């Protein structure tokens, strides 16, 4: 997760952490810390850019809830950007197609050809290997996790994470929307059959 | 605009399958309490699906928040604090409310208060009856909880009895599902029993004599065994009989606690406290003992943010704001804050 503040093509401050668990705890203080470091306040914010996924559901929801709520409280628009786009922005220069590959767990990946665009793919790494164009570069935690599979047919640039600082700079050419219009990119239906009986400490009122 | 001298709390509740936002003044006066239920989304699964609940909270929270502020006719600057349920409940569902409340607190420059959902249910009583004072006994009955709480003072609780297996609401759901009556089980069985005019089937009570604990799993099994032996029994006689047995156990135990701790006030809380038979029987038994029996309006029994605001008002005065670097605790116990 990460937060950045930028203006007029300059990143004023940024912070990120590789947490896989403490998103809810860290997000609000991180917003405050980054603004403080940039010498700005929330009142200075004109628009919010948010990564709408795909990714881990919990992390996505903390980020998107924060963006929507800030937009509501500050009456500013929100720009959505996908994890695929943010991975492409973080990827090294490459002559062939760049695929952003996000680990979807349960032996699946979410993938997108960020060079040509097109609809995102949801499939097993083995299936993706078979459809990758020649001279492809793969980036993202899905590419990292299944590195051996992808390395057989493509290049893999390891350790690439969505570039939050770049997101802060992307705003000028994109029009924002009201926070209520922002839709998470889940790319998969909830797994009702598996989860139906898990209500740890739950309380159906 | 309303006067701003009062302590106004905006609270968010997203612990399970209701998205709710409320504004409450001085912990007792409800200015708005908007509740959006997801029951229809979960009905076809016969229970709450956590991932569906989380997705729905994220989508619904903003409109509900907007409506709650509008109905209360307050502006964010008038608020004393922003609160949210931070446990117990479904992790993903809780995180939406907690994150939104912390973000609002940051944006509006107000203190944040994390509230224990169960403490919220205890405070529902004060929304309608600011005059009542502990010590009192509150019986919390819902889909996730069944417990008898000795409230010695605000913030000083002793759980003196609880279920050793299913929660009461869960037992209603399971029996309704077994009989093919639909979901959620409590309201369905309540309606059937209310219209039933015959003789309800008598089921064993599973009283666990002498203790204040409950066991509903055996009563569910009793229904199943009865149907196996008497397959032609009409569903309404079974449903009415099961409800009678559950209500009998609940009220008997609650009155046992009232007697044992010698309190003059008893309260009901939780979603199952919306059950008509339970409300009637509880009120009657309290009357018979000369005990002040408080049955909150149904909107304050089922999950709602007004009760969270009421608890937050007191918590803020008692121990101050909750730090912004806290999250949610799915298995939070009564008496703990995070
Ligand atoms: Zn509840």
Task: Tell if the CB–CB gap between B96 and A65 is shorter than 8 Å.
Answer: yes
Residues within 5 Å of ion ligand 1 by Cβ?
A 203, 205; B 142, 303
The Cα–Cα gap between B120 and B98 comes to: 15
- Asked whether residue A201 is domain-assigned, the answer is no
Task: Tell if the CB–CB gap between B103 and A57 is shorter than 8 Å.
Answer: no
**Whether B271 contacts chain A with CB within 8 A:** yes
3-class SS of residue B22: strand
Q: Which residues contact A111 (CB under 8 A, 6 or more apart)?
A: A99, A100, A101, A102, A120, A121, A123, A128, A142
Interface test with B, best of A41, A52, A202 (most B CBs within 10 A): A202
Instruction: Calculate the average pLDDT of chain A.
Output: 89
Residue B61's closest CA among B9, B31, B118, B101? B101
The Cα–Cα gap between B318 and B153 comes to: 12
Residues of chain B with CATH 3.30.420.40: 8-122+302-319, 134-300
Residue A204 — pLDDT band, cuts 50, 70, 90? very low
In this structure, chain B runs to a length of 338
User: What are residue B11's DSSP bridge partners?
Assistant: B22, B83
Same domain, A18 and A72: yes
- Asked whether residue A194 is domain-assigned, the answer is no
Q: Look at residue A128 in the predicted model and tell me its pLDDT.
A: 96
Same domain, A167 and A67: yes
CATH number for the segment(s) B134-300: 3.30.420.40
Scanning every residue of chain B, which has its alpha carbon at the shortest distance from the alpha carbon of A68? B62
Higher pLDDT among residues A101 and A190, named by residue: A101
Task: Tell if the CB–CB gap between A203 and B61 is shorter than 8 Å.
Answer: no
Same domain, A149 and A168: no
Model-level pTM? 0.94
Of A28, A190, A196, the CB nearest to B47: A196
Q: Look at residue A197 in the predicted model and tell me its pLDDT.
A: 45
Task: Tell if the CB–CB gap between B54 and A61 is shorter than 8 Å.
Answer: yes
Burial-class residue B231 by CB neighbours within 10 Å (0-12, 13-18, 19+).
exposed
Expressed in percent and rounded to 5, the helix, strand and coil fractions of chain B are 45, 20, 35
CATH assignment of the domain containing A131: 3.30.420.40
Q: Look at residue A17 in the predicted model and tell me its pLDDT.
A: 87
- Asked whether residue A150 is domain-assigned, the answer is yes
Contacts of residue A61 in chain B, CB cutoff 8 Å?
Answer: 54, 58, 92, 95-96, 99
Residue A194, pLDDT above cutoff 50: no
The Cα–Cα gap between B43 and B46 comes to: 5
Q: Look at residue A90 in the predicted model and tell me its pLDDT.
A: 92
3-class SS of residue A196: coil
**Whether A187 contacts chain B with CB within 8 A:** no
- Asked whether residue A198 is domain-assigned, the answer is no
- Asked whether residue A42 is domain-assigned, the answer is yes
Interface test with B, best of A42, A80, A203 (most B CBs within 10 A): A203
Q: Which of A23-37, A100-114, A187-201, B127-141 has the lowest mean pLDDT?
A: A187-201
Same domain, A78 and A166: yes
Q: Which domain holds residue A8?
A: 2-82+162-187
Cα distance between the two ends of chain A: 32
Q: 């605000």: which residue's tokens?
A: B154
Tell me yes or no: is domain B8-122+302-319 CATH 3.30.420.40.
Answer: yes
Q: Are B103 and A30 in contact (CB under 8 A)?
A: no
Q: Please, how many CA atoms are within 13 Å of residue A135, restricted to the half-sphere of its CB?
A: 6
Q: Look at residue A200 in the predicted model and tell me its pLDDT.
A: 40
Of all residues in chain A, the percent with pLDDT exceeding 90 is 77
Q: Look at residue A172 in the predicted model and tell me its pLDDT.
A: 64
- How many angstroms away from the CA of B218 is the closest CA of chain A? 20
Q: Look at residue A170 in the predicted model and tell me its pLDDT.
A: 67
Interface test with A, best of B36, B50, B66 (most A CBs within 10 A): B50
Give the angle B120-B114-B15 at the CA atoms, nearest 5°. 60
Q: Are B101 and B111 in contact (CB under 8 A)?
A: no
In this structure, chain A runs to a length of 205
Q: Look at residue B338 in the predicted model and tell me its pLDDT.
A: 61
3-class SS of residue B328: coil
The whole-number average pLDDT for the span A77-94 is: 93
Its ipTM equals 0.93
Contacts of range B33-36, beta carbons closer than 8 Å, 24 or more positions apart? B33/B68, B33/B299, B33/B304, B33/B305, B33/B306, B34/B64, B34/B67, B34/B68, B34/B71, B34/B305, B35/B64, B35/B299, B35/B302, B35/B303, B35/B304, B35/B305, B36/B60, B36/B63, B36/B64
Of B50, B99, B173, the CB nearest to A65: B99
Q: Please, how many CA atoms are within 13 Å of residue B212, restricted to the half-sphere of its CB?
A: 22
Contacts of residue A184 in chain B, CB cutoff 8 Å?
Answer: 55, 58
- Asked whether residue A113 is domain-assigned, the answer is yes
Same domain, A30 and A68: yes
Same domain, A166 and A73: yes
Total domains present in chain A: 2
Question: Over its length of 338 residues, how does chain B's per-residue pLDDT go in tens digits?
Answer: 555 468 999 999 999 999 999 999 999 999 999 999 998 888 888 888 999 999 999 999 999 999 999 999 999 999 999 999 999 999 999 999 999 999 999 999 999 999 999 999 999 999 999 999 999 999 999 988 899 999 999 999 999 999 999 999 999 999 999 999 988 899 999 999 999 999 999 999 878 888 999 999 999 999 999 999 999 999 999 999 999 999 999 999 999 999 999 999 999 999 999 999 999 999 999 999 999 999 999 999 999 999 999 999 999 999 999 999 999 999 999 977 66
């Amino acid at each position: 997760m990460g937060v950045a503040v930028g203006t007029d093509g300059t990143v004023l401050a940024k912070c990120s952490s590789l947490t896989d668990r403490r998103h809810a705890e860290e997000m609000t203080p991180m917003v405050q810390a980054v603004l403080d470091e940039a010498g700005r306040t929330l009142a200075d914010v004109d628009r919010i850019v948010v990564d709408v996924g795909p990714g881990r559901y919990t992390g996505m929801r903390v980020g998107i809830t924060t963006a929507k709520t800030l937009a509501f409280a500050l009456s500013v628009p929100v720009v959505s950007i996908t994890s695929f786009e943010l991975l492409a922005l973080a990827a090294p220069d490459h002559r062939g197609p760049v695929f952003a590959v996000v680990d979807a767990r349960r032996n699946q990946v979410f993938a997108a050809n960020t060079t040509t665009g097109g609809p995102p793919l949801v499939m097993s790494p083995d299936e993706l290997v078979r459809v990758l164009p020649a001279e492809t570069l793969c980036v993202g935690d899905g590419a990292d996790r299944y590195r051996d599979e992808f390395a057989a047919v493509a290049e893999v640039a390891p350790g690439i994470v969505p570039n939050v600082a770049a997101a802060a700079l992307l705003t000028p050419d994109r029009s924002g929307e009201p926070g209520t219009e922002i839709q998470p990119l889940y790319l998969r239906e909830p797994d009702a059959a598996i989860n139906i009986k898990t209500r740890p400490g739950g309380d159906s009122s | 605009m309303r006067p701003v001298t009062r302590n106004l709390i905006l609270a968010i509740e997203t612990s399970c399958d209701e998205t709710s936002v409320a504004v409450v003044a001085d912990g007792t006066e409800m200015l708005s309490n908007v509740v959006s239920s997801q029951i229809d989304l979960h009905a076809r699964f016969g229970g709450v699906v956590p991932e569906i609940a989380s997705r729905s909270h994220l989508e619904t929270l903003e409109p509900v928040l907007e409506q709650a502020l509008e109905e209360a006719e307050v502006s964010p600057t008038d608020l004393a604090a922003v609160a949210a349920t931070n446990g117990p409940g479904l992790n993903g569902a809780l995180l939406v409310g907690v994150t939104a409340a912390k973000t609002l607190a940051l944006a509006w420059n107000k203190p944040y208060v994390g509230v224990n959902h169960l403490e919220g249910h205890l405070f529902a009583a004060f929304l309608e009856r600011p005059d009542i004072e502990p010590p009192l006994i509150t019986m919390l009955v819902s889909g996730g909880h069944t417990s008898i709480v000795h409230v010695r003072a605000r913030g000083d609780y002793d759980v003196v009895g609880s279920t050793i297996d299913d929660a009461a609401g869960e037992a209603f759901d399971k029996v309704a599902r077994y009989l093919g009556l639909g979901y959620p089980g409590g309201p369905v069985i309540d309606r059937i029993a209310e219209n039933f005019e015959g003789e309800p089937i008598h089921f064993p009570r599973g009283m666990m004599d002498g203790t204040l604990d409950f066991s509903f799993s055996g009563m569910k099994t009793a229904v199943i065994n009865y149907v196996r032996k008497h397959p032609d029994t009409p569903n309404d006689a079974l449903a009415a009989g099961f409800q009678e047995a559950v209500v009998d156990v609940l009220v008997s135990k609650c009155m046992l606690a009232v007697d044992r701790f010698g309190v003059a006030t008893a309260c009901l809380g939780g979603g199952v406290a919306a059950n008509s038979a339970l409300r009637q029987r509880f009120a009657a038994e309290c009357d018979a003992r000369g005990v002040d029996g408080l049955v909150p309006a149904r909107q304050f029994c089922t999950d709602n943010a007004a009760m969270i605001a009421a608890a937050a008002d007191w918590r803020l005065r008692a121990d101050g704001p909750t730090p912004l670097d806290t999250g949610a605790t799915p298995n939070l116990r009564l008496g703990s804050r995070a």
